[in-house]
Amino acid sequence: TAGVTTIAGTSTFAKKTTVNATLEATEGLNVTAGISTLRGELKLTEGTSNVSNGDEIGSLMFVYPGNDNNNAKITALQTTGTSGADLAFFTRTQGDGTNTDGGEERLRLDSNGKVGLGTTNPAFFVSIRDAAPYIRIEDTAAPVNEKTWDFNAGTDGILRFRNTNDAANSSNNWLEVERDGVDTSSIRLLTGTGSERLRITSTGQLVTNAASSIDCAAGGMHLYLGAGARDDYSTSADGLIIEKN
């Protein structure tokens, strides 16, 4: 066809179809066989001008032939204001018998270009939300068991950076950042199999091997060796003080 073709009801294409113009579908469009070639635009609309914020404008549903339970979809959603729309991407997990309409939303691309994983309202350029979110980076050119790095925000308020093997079943931390609300409680460096070697506390104390420490305050330095009780030289300006206990 040429020009603009408008489909006002649910239509099914059961063979190869070529549209050399703009195809507008206001209700439903099913392609069940062959290949449909669109040379122009495919416009999907909800079919009414009374669309509220968050309502679906149009969607593309992908359905496995002969089994409607295998499906996924991409949906455009109305946003506030006179223009703009979000895109939501849905997938359906194996055995999901509830979310039949494309599954659950996994990714949101909002009208400002922000990407949300696990959230429908991304606050920043990339927002990730989960019970224990992991981000993994893999260098395929690296040696065996040196390809993968990841970091995660645990439920205990500690952000962990890890070395991970190729099978992703063994990891060791090399950096940990612990928080208390919006304050940073400590920063810890780990080596070997994840043993802590160096810590910076919230007061600026530098602790090695969780026992010895170095304090730098008021123009002086206090070097403490040992695991016993330590004197307080935090306000001393007497230069270098070495204490062993």
Q: What is the pLDDT of residue 15?
A: 54
Instruction: Provide φ and ψ at 119, rounded to 5°.
Output: -140, 145
pLDDT by position in tens, the chain (length 245): 444 555 555 565 555 566 555 566 655 566 555 555 555 566 666 655 555 667 888 888 887 777 767 788 898 888 877 778 899 999 888 777 777 778 889 999 999 999 999 898 899 998 888 887 889 999 999 999 999 999 998 888 999 999 999 999 999 999 999 999 999 999 999 999 999 888 888 887 777 765 555 665 555 666 666 665 656 655 555 566 666 66
Calpha distance 7→29 (Å, rounded): 8
Calpha distance 89→110 (Å, rounded): 11
Q: Residue for token digits 């060796």?
A: 225
Residue 197: both structure tokens together: 């070697």
Residue 125: both structure tokens together: 């350029």
Return the amino acid letter for 227: A
**Residue 202 in 3-state DSSP?**
coil
Calpha distance 223→231 (Å, rounded): 11
CA angle 189, 191, 194 (to 5 degrees): 90
The structure's pTM equals 0.64
Q: Are 141 and 151 in contact (CB under 8 A)?
A: no
Question: Judging by beta carbons within 10 Å of its beta carbon (0-12, 13-18, 19+), is residue 39 exposed, middle or buried?
Answer: exposed
Calpha distance 172→161 (Å, rounded): 8
